[in-house]
Amino acid sequence: MANPLIPRATVHAWSDQIGEAAHEHTTALQRLLKDQRRLTRFIEKNAEQLGGASPGVCVYLTGVIARMFDLAGGRLKGATWSDVHAAEAKVQGALDGLLPLDDGFLDRLHALDGRAQAHIVDEAAMVLFEQEPSEEEEELDKVEALKVLLICWVVTEVLDGLWSPPKAFVGESSYTYVHLEPTRPKAEGTTEG
């Protein structure tokens, strides 16, 4: 049986909290990445193939995702290469139904059934496609943003498969897209890459 979903409001609050006080989460992130060496190697290998600011964005977002599972509590087993490859195959299999990378892309993503922790993937998509970067961040073009999103999605699939929520965890049993306004919405006409 699939894990209950971490609620969208919780995911968004944690994302903001980690972004605003990243230094407070550094030790936990280092521990998580050390415990997930295969998944970390997958992220590093794929980040090497990204251009511009994308590798840094990818490492940051995947760290935020890992930290969310940690904040949710419970137990997180170590990933095997089989776990990583199965998640890659699942995400790759869904890609044809999501493309092209046009104005309807995010709607197709939100309508896709069977995504593990879909609210986490939605948060990553919002950050990558709908949120204006801060002054110290570089905006990614749509193709690079898609590559980062796919890596984040694989990481989410893997971690959810390894996660045993705590007994007291109250999540959602089914997914419904919840629209949240990004902290810094993009102006009209700036989503093209």
Residue-wise pLDDT for 83-136, tens only, equals: 999 999 999 999 999 999 999 999 999 999 999 999 999 999 999 999 887 777
pLDDT at 5 over 90: yes
Written as one letter, the residue type at 171 is: G
- Cα–Cα distance list, 190 to 15, 25, 130, 137 (Å): 23, 32, 9, 15
> Is pLDDT at 190 greater than 60 in this prediction?
no
Q: Which sequence spans correspond to the domains of the chain?
A: 8-164
The pLDDT > 70 percentage for the chain reads 95
Q: What is the pLDDT of residue 188?
A: 58
Q: Dump pLDDT digits (tens) for 29-68.
A: 888 878 899 999 999 999 999 998 899 899 889 999 999 9
Candidates 31, 58, 24; CA nearest to 155 is 58
Question: 188 exposed, middle or buried (CB, 10 Å; 0-12, 13-18, 19+)?
Answer: exposed
Quick one: pLDDT band at residue 141, thresholds 50, 70, 90? very high
For residues 174 and 129, the answer to whether their CB atoms sit within 8 Å is no
Please give the pLDDT value at position 191: 45
Q: What is the pLDDT of residue 58?
A: 92
For 90, 181, 192, the CA distances from 98, given in Å and listed in that order, are 13, 22, 17
Residue 193 has pLDDT above 60, yes or no: no
Nearest alpha carbon to residue 76 among 120, 118, 31, 106: 31
